[in-house]
Amino acid sequence: ASPNSDRPRRRSRALHIPSHASCCTSPDVSRPSCPVSKSSNPFSRSIRPGHQIQPPPPPFGQIYIGPGVSVRSGGHRLAQPKPTHHLPSRKFPPPHAPTQPTMAPPTHRLLLLLALACALCAAAAGDPRTAVAGQSCAPGSAVSGSVLADNFVPAMDDLNSNVSANGFGTSAVGARGPNTVFGLGQCHRDLSPLDCKLCFAEVRSLLPKCYPRVGGRLFLDGCFGRYGNYSFLGEALGPADARVCAPGNASNPRGFADAARAAVANVTEAAVRGDADGYAVASASAGGATAFALAQCWGSLNATACGQCLRAAARAAAGCAPATEGRALYTGCYLRYSTRLFWNVNATAGSGSSGKNGVVWILVGSFLGAFIVVLIIAFLAWKKGILRRKKQSKSFIDMYGDGVSVRIAQSSLNFKYEELRKATNYFDPANKLGQGSNGAVYKAVMPDGKEVAVKRLFLNTREWVEQFFNEVELISQVRHKNLVKLLGCSVNGPESLLVYEYYFNKSLELFLFDASRSRKLTWDLRVCIIQGIAEGLSYLHEESEIRIIHRDIKASNILLDDKYKPKITDFGLARAFAADITHLTTGVAGTLGYMAPEYIVHGHLTEKADVFSYGVLLLEIVTGKRCSGPIGSHGGQALLTKVLLRSLISCLSYFYSKRREVSL
């Protein structure tokens, strides 16, 4: 039982899902379907074996998912509908009954719904192009890993601020020497300021994977990031330069090869012109085929070095033809060609001033009504952000002090570092269970034969130690059947380690997106997993001693036990709220694709950030499609846009049918 079971529960504002303790079991064990209480579900009836019941249509603004689960678009709440609180439905007479006069749904609602949907679709048209094109790490390791780490985090912070403001930036932190950290970041100039922020947020999340190497570079299709322990800002070419060719060829190989070479030559010459400032896009046609190309030099290069880099990159990329895609990932520049137009045509460059709320909305088509709605919403959001007083969030080190480490070391949570190191077979790659943005997880076998999972953090700087103690403090204070159980940690070794229960089925991600394993996730199991995650979030938001927002809900952070019950894990980015606080203004953190748009733009953290992430995860569970895909894919945008359009069509069809029924 929960240690907080005797404490009165607060009313849930964000998530509430009824508990079904024995809902999820192994698919190999015979079990009843997930029960739905008659008292809490107006749609529930007695169901005989082999008899299927179709539920009545949900009220407007609500999408039916399955028994006891519904999503309401306007209230940010997921719950079983209750008889006393569900939206009243309009009763229509039977087909042969006399028709009573009734008021048709207002037409302006349809127009407003259409305008908002068009605006959202247009806004979703912007593409930050966060697919990883390539990553490489320098061969040498740091002479003093702790000193390099102390300089790395502030260097990345400075770099992120510069790139977010100007589309390009450099940084340097530390005294001159082998542990100084230099940074460089660049967004391609076709990205809007918002897309630039999104793209470089992904760079900042992935680039630390090169630590403790003395340098690393990461190419995304929309931006670039690099760090090193020497000043490399003027370099144009280097030994790590590479090209990446797509595995398949164009349908018209000869014609497309000629078109690709011509497009690469055109874009190179256009980018090295004096007025181009190292950036250009171009296209060319030959033999019935068309190729599109983009070239971008880093802002730290002069015109001569830029031309040297792009001409070398052009020769490399042209060698990929007739492959459908070709990329040259060079020290001082990036060049790409493709069979499709991949840059943002209507977007402004990702440079220049972009204030805290400076968002360039990309509008498509001739929907004047949608344009006006977006302008009004953007103006109100900007004005609200200017007038709102920003509050600084406190870290757990600031709240509790360095004595936390002493308390942990003296408690039963403490494990010996060497014991855990041996249990993982010295962090053998064969025992690696997964990789996150701030650490790797290994399977370990303790001396008594018990299997556990050990999380090994990348860095031990103050910022990363904050995440470590944050996770220990939060998980050690919460107890729930849908939250991972922390067994202990190690704080006295050369690196920080966390010890969790080991779950045989590992993460939900391994089942959702694997063709063979996904068959084991029956619809009953998927509904139970959806409910279990919601129950865990409801506990964190409203029922625990401290109010917690997770900030990184995604498939890889949901573990499954041997009965496929979900367990929420990875609390490194979580934040605690006081009961009287409505939101925190904090640095944006999380996984791109799962983060709520208002949180990305304004940095205002509320429970709704978790609700948005949960909604994206719910779509992944139902559809089996990733929110984010591999190189060149647009899976996340396509998934969300399809759901939006289908919801719009369903709503319009519902209104149309009611209007027609009234007219008849």
Looking up residue 604, the CATH number of its domain turns out to be 1.10.510.10
**pLDDT given at position 489:** 85
- CA dist 138 and 240 (Å) reads 9
**pTM beyond cutoff 0.75:** no
Domain end, chosen from 327, 353, 379, is at 353
Of residues 127, 258, 552, 570, which has the active-site annotation? 552
- CA dist 30 and 362 (Å) reads 52
Are residues 519 and 487 both part of a single domain? no
* Residue 97: inside a domain: no
Are residues 488 and 527 both part of a single domain? no
Domain end, chosen from 467, 501, 535, is at 501
* Residue 103: inside a domain: no
Domain end, chosen from 451, 479, 501, is at 501
Rg of the chain over Cα atoms, rounded to whole angstroms, equals 27
Q: Does the annotation mark 398 as catalytic?
A: no
- CA dist 153 and 173 (Å) reads 9
Are residues 412 and 557 both part of a single domain? no
Are residues 216 and 305 both part of a single domain? yes
Query: Of 423, 405, 422, whose CA–CA distance to 414 is shortest?
Result: 405
Structure tokens at 503: 């779950």
Q: Report residues of the chain scoring pLDDT below 50.
A: 1-22, 26-115, 117, 119-125, 348-364, 366, 389-404, 630-636
Are residues 215 and 346 both part of a single domain? yes
- Please tell me whether 565 is known to bind a ligand: no
Tell me which residue range forms the domain holding 327: 131-353
Q: At a CB cut-off of 8 Å and minimum separation 6, what does 46 contact? A: none
- Give 335's strand partners: 295, 328
**pLDDT given at position 101:** 40
Q: Are 615 and 609 in contact (CB under 8 A)?
A: no
**pLDDT given at position 246:** 93
**pLDDT given at position 297:** 96
* Residue 304: inside a domain: yes
* Residue 379: inside a domain: no
**pLDDT given at position 220:** 94
* Residue 32: inside a domain: no
Are residues 255 and 292 both part of a single domain? yes
* Residue 70: inside a domain: no
Query: Of 355, 391, 381, whose CA–CA distance to 586 is shortest?
Result: 391
**pLDDT given at position 604:** 78
Query: Of 560, 481, 482, 553, whose CA–CA distance to 514 is shortest?
Result: 560
Structural domains of the chain, count = 3
Are residues 402 and 347 both part of a single domain? no
- What's the CATH number where 329 sits? 3.30.430.20
**pLDDT given at position 385:** 60
**pLDDT given at position 659:** 65
**pLDDT given at position 205:** 83
Q: Are 515 and 507 in contact (CB under 8 A)?
A: no
Strand segments, DSSP code E, in 372-504 are: 432-435, 439-445, 451-457, 486-490, 497-501
* Residue 457: inside a domain: yes
- CA dist 383 and 324 (Å) reads 46
**pLDDT given at position 51:** 38
Q: Are strands 62-66 and 69-72 parallel, antiparallel or unpaired?
A: antiparallel
Are residues 199 and 340 both part of a single domain? yes
